[in-house]
Amino acid sequence: EAQVTQNPRYLITVTGKKLTVTCSQNMNHEYMSWYRQDPGLGLRQIYYSMNVEVTDKGDVPEGYKVSRKEKRNFPLILESPSPNQTSLYFCASRQVEGPEAFFGQGTRLTVV
């Protein structure tokens, strides 16, 4: 089954404690991205990757890092989380020229 797997689904952490949200896809897609979703603001892109070792900033990259060492995996790293990073996060993958068609289940992150 074609899918994007994100973990964890829920995470509560404290300010400054490094965390990683994992994302894996099984469709051999080149394009992967991370979004955050906040009420009234919709989905905003954090980072994206066009292929292995090729990553670039989206619209709201501050405070986040990503890596793309393998085609299937695209982890999101928060080196020093802050309360303003409390949000619902989605990983997505797709063909380069297609729509965002496959989303992970989402990670609800709370930073206290």
Partner 1 sequence: QKEVEQNSGPLSVPEGAIASLNCTYSDRVSQSFFWYRQYSGKSPELIMSIYSNGDKEDGRFTAQLNKASQYVSLLIRDSQPSDSATYLCAVLPVTRGFKTIFGAGTRLFVKA
**Interface ranges with partner 1 (CB under 8 A):** 31, 35, 40-45, 48, 50, 58, 88, 90, 96-97, 99-101, 103-106, 108
Distance CA 100, CA 112 (A): 31
Q: Nearest distance from residue 9's CB to partner 1, in Å?
A: 10
CA distances from 15 to 50, 71, 80, 94 (A): 31, 31, 7, 33
Nearest Cα to 21, choosing from 1, 40, 47?
47
Q: Nearest distance from residue 16's CB to partner 1, in Å?
A: 27
- Name the residue nearer to partner 1 (CB basis): 27 or 50: 50
Give me the amino acid identity at 48.
Y
- Name the residue nearer to partner 1 (CB basis): 62 or 97: 97
Q: Nearest distance from residue 75's CB to partner 1, in Å?
A: 18
- Name the residue nearer to partner 1 (CB basis): 11 or 43: 43
Is the separation of the CB atoms in 89 and 33 below 8 Å?
no
